[in-house]
Amino acid sequence: MRYLGITPKTPRLAVFDFTCCEGCELQLANKEETLPAFLGAVDIVNFREISSDRRDDYEIAFVEGSISRDDEVARLQTIRKNARLLVALGSCACFGGVNRMKNAYDLDQANREVYGDHPKPTRPVRAVRELVAVDLQIPGCPVSKAEVERIVQHLVLGLPYNFPAYPVCVECKQRFNVCMWDKGQPCLGPIALAGCDAPCPSAGLGCYGCRGPAPDANLTEFFDMARKHGVSDADIQERLHFFGGFEGLR
């Protein structure tokens, strides 16, 4: 790939998965129309879903999934030591994701009820940045393919990437949607980080904030607005905690 007559380096890239559904790395692997360009822009040295290579000389590591077992901690620390740049891929890696809901339960009791006399090793879920330094976070459940490709372009060219500084409502309005609140359904669009192109409200589902909070999200005003629409604080809280991205904000 040449740009302005310059051939950029092809960085060695690895993708690793932890506790998750692997849907985010699948976003990279299944976009057939751009997969050859993606494979040409980077040198894949370790990516279980698309390659049998298992090398440790990667420069960039994409880490998908939350951390929920002791053995995962040691593996993550090794990846951190090897990688020049560690990228958290998807809401599980960035916030704990839907897995984070399990932290509200007694894990010993849940283990006994599900596995009886054969308990499985498990720990409260943590985001990647709670255990090692993270250089870049790409939120989303799943991540947006288009956004990840833009970010990969920036990484290859060594340029910083700026996430949108506005909420999902901006992209929703650009798609001429009738607001979900006017249709009687809650939506976190006013406080959620844009960049996904508002697929949920465009398909008739209020946003659950899978990308976490927008910069300067005004939760106090948002709760007031929800109450005026007859939506309880408890319902909003449940939505805020769905992907773990608003943890600590409210």
240 near ligand SF4, rule: CB under 6 A:
no
213 near ligand SF4, rule: CB under 6 A:
no
Number of residues binding to ligand SF4, judged by CB under 6 A: 36
Q: Spell out the long-range contacts of 225-230 with Cβ–Cβ below 8 A and sequence spacing 24 or more.
A: 225/181, 225/190, 226/186, 229/181, 229/186
148 near ligand SF4, rule: CB under 6 A:
no
141 near ligand SF4, rule: CB under 6 A:
yes
The residue from 8, 124, 164, 199 that contacts ligand SF4 (CB under 6 A) is 199
The residue from 28, 60, 87, 92 that contacts ligand SF4 (CB under 6 A) is 92
The residue from 13, 14, 15, 24 that contacts ligand SF4 (CB under 6 A) is 24
- Label residue 97 left, alpha or beta by phi (over 0 means left) and psi (-120 to 50 means alpha): left
Sequence letter at residue 212: G
Q: Could you tell me the two tokens for 26?
A: 């699948």
The residue from 28, 42, 63, 91 that contacts ligand SF4 (CB under 6 A) is 91
Q: How many CB atoms lie within 10 A of CB 218?
A: 13
- Can you say whether the dihedral through the CA atoms of 35, 36, 40, 43 is positive or negative? positive
Residues 6+ apart with CB under 8 A from 188: 168, 206, 207, 208, 209, 222, 239, 240
| Residue 226 CA to its chain's centroid (Å) | 26
The nearer residue to ligand SF4, 85 or 179, going by C-beta atoms, is 179
Q: By CB under 6 A, which span of 18-26, 53-61, 127-135, 155-163 interacts with ligand SF4?
A: 18-26
Q: By CB under 6 A, which span of 35-43, 119-127, 175-183, 232-240 interacts with ligand SF4?
A: 175-183
Residues 6+ apart with CB under 8 A from 164: 170, 171, 193, 194, 195, 214
Task: Tell me the closest approach of the beta carbon of residue 190 to ligand SF4, in angstroms.
Answer: 5
Q: Can you tell me whether residue 44 is helix, strand or coil?
A: strand
198 near ligand SF4, rule: CB under 6 A:
yes
The residue from 11, 96, 190, 244 that contacts ligand SF4 (CB under 6 A) is 190
The residue from 63, 134, 169, 236 that contacts ligand SF4 (CB under 6 A) is 169
The residue from 142, 214, 217, 223 that contacts ligand SF4 (CB under 6 A) is 142
Place of tokens 């909070």: 213
Q: Can you tell me whether residue 245 is helix, strand or coil?
A: coil
Task: Tell me the closest approach of the beta carbon of residue 66 to ligand SF4, in angstroms.
Answer: 8
Binding-site ranges for ligand SF4 (CB under 6 A): 20-24, 64-65, 90-92, 97-98, 141-142, 168-169, 172-173, 177, 179-181, 187, 189-190, 192, 196, 198-201, 207-211
